[in-house]
Amino acid sequence: MDQQFTQEMEQLLLNLRKEILESLASEDEDFKSLVSSMGIKDDGDVASDDMMIKKMEVLNQIAANRLKSVDAALSRIKNHKYGMCLQCGAKIPEERLRAIPYAVLCIKCKSGQEGQKRKSW
């Protein structure tokens, strides 16, 4: 993998990491104010608050998973394994990495994986 490209992707990943952390922090604030406002509401509102908390949990989960992927990609850069498919070891095309800097599978393996998921569902 081209050194300059890897550096570019590292910068992109670091920016992405910062963004995710910032969004997690702001959601955390929303979450806190939501929780503190719950005590003063009547029973009718509890259900919708509950749903909102569930929704935020899901959003946080997605962000946490993305953060994990970004961290994994950064450690792969350090280990000089960045840009290689985890499954078959093929080079992941630069265009794909530009679109998803934390991609770990080549398009072939990725679409194979999604096909399997769909089947098992």
Positions touching Zn ion (CB under 5 A) are 85, 87-88, 90, 106, 109
> Which whole-number Å values give the CA distances from 43 to 36, 46, 54, 110, in the listed order?
15, 5, 18, 46
SS (H, E, C) 27-87: HHHHHHHHHHHHCCCCHHHHHHHHHHHHHHHHHHHHHHHHHHHHHHHHHHHHCCCCCECCC
CB closer to Zn ion out of 56 and 90: 90
Which one, 53 or 84, has the nearer CB to Zn ion? 84
Work out how close the CB of 115 gets to Zn ion at its nearest, in angstroms, rounded to a whole number. 13
- In the complex with Zn ion, which residue's Cβ is closer, 32 or 108? 108
CB of 61 to Zn ion, least distance (A): 26
- Closest contact distance (angstroms) between CB of 50 and Zn ion is 42
